[in-house]
Structure formats: C-alpha cells, structure tokens
C-alpha cells in the first residue's frame, strides 16, 4: 500500500468514533498491544529525549525500503508512534520525504506533534525524515 492509502485507512478506522474518549481509548489499546522495538535498541544511542516522555527509534534499509522500529515509555505517545511507523515503514526514502501528515489532523491528533508538547514525537518525526534523507543519499551514490 502507498503512504496515502495507509493514511486513508487509519482515518477511516478512527472515523468510527465521534467521541475523543473513544479515539484515545483506541490509541491506548494500540499503544499497549504493540511491542515495537527490540530491547537492544532501548538504549541511550536510540533515545530521543522529549522531556515529558521518552522515545526510542531505530531504522534500517532493506531492498530499497526503510524499516523503522520505535517505542516510548508513555502509552499515548506509543500509540501515535505506532501510527507513524505503520505509515512510513516499508516505504522508499523518496516516498517518505514526499509525504504529508494531514491524516493526523483528520483524526484529531495533530496537537501531539506540536513543538510545545515536548513528548518527543516531533523530534522523532524529524529523525525519521533524516534517516530517509540519509538512506536516499546512500542509494543515489550507488
């Protein structure tokens, strides 16, 4: 699936709920149920300090596609991480760099990516884009 298709599917999933509480309940469920990162990556090298919640991120390139893994100690942060990984993991660096994040606005979670939130998500997103950029440069050199 393309990034756009995955985003649309997420928006559709969330559109079942009118109420913010149900949306957050779903996010919390997602956050709880998904072990996202291998324990060996939960170290300082992969830590993105967000002041309020901590986020760990790793990335690798396989067959021209980027695969992310990430985790957080806060479950709401983790739920959103899951969505971001679902959207970006397994995509090409160019597609990642060309994408937009309008879907988070559509499901009412855009505020979590605000720079004032200090939950590490925005830094994580920037880091994901940097990874994509670096992998793209590697590809171009080949």
Partner 1 sequence: MDSTYINEIRRQFPILNQQVYGKPLVYLDNAATTQKPLCVIDRERDYYLHENCNIHRGVHYLSQMATEAYENARRTVAAFIHAAAPHDIVFTRGTTESLNLLASSLGQLLIEENDKVLISAMEHHSNLVPWQQMLRQKKGQLLVCPMDDNGVLDLQRYETLLDEKPRIVSIAHISNTLGTINPIKEMIGMAHKHGIPVIVDGAQSIAHHYIDVQSLDCDFFVFSGHKMYAPMGIGGLYGKSDWLEKMPPYQFGGEMVDQVSFEATTFNKLPFKFEAGTPNVGAALGLESAVRFIESLDRNQIEAYESALLQRAVEQLSEIEGLRFIGQAAKRSGLVSFVIDGIHPYDLGTIIDKMGVAVRTGHHCAEPVMTRFGIPGTVRASFALYNTMEEVDVFVKAVKKAAAMLR
Question: Contact positions toward partner 1, by CB under 8 A?
Answer: 20-21, 24-25, 28, 51-54, 73-77, 118-119
Question: Considering the complex, what minimum distance in angstroms separates the CB of residue 108 from partner 1?
Answer: 10
Rounded CA separation 106/64 (Å):
30
Question: Considering the complex, what minimum distance in angstroms separates the CB of residue 102 from partner 1?
Answer: 22
Nearer to partner 1, 6 or 121 (CB): 121
Nearer to partner 1, 34 or 75 (CB): 75
Taking CA atoms, 71 is separated from 2, 94, 116, 137, in Å, by 23, 24, 20, 26
Nearer to partner 1, 18 or 63 (CB): 18
Report the catalytic residues: 51
CA triplet 2, 64, 106: central angle to 5 degrees? 25
> Using a CB cutoff of 8 Å and minimum separation of 24, what contacts does 40-44 make?
41/69, 41/71, 42/71
Question: Considering the complex, what minimum distance in angstroms separates the CB of residue 135 from partner 1?
Answer: 31
From 85, 92, 53, select the one nearest 69 (Cα to Cα): 85
CB 66 within 8 A of CB 59: yes
């Amino acid at each position: 699936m393309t990034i756009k298709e995955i985003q649309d599917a997420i928006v559709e999933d969330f559109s079942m709920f009118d109420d913010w509480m149900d949306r957050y309940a779903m996010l919390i469920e997602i956050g709880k149920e998904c072990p996202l990162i291998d324990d060996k990556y939960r170290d300082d090298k992969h830590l993105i300090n967000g002041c309020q919640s901590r986020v760990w991120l790793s990335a690798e390139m396989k067959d021209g596609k980027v695969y992310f893994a990430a985790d957080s100690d806060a479950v709401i942060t983790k739920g959103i991480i899951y969505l971001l990984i679902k959207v970006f993991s397994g995509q090409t660096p160019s597609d990642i760099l060309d994408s937009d994040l309008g879907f988070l606005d559509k499901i009412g979670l855009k505020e979590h990516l605000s720079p004032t939130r200090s939950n590490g998500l925005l830094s994580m997103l920037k880091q994901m884009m940097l990874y994509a950029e670096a992998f793209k440069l590697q590809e171009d050199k080949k």
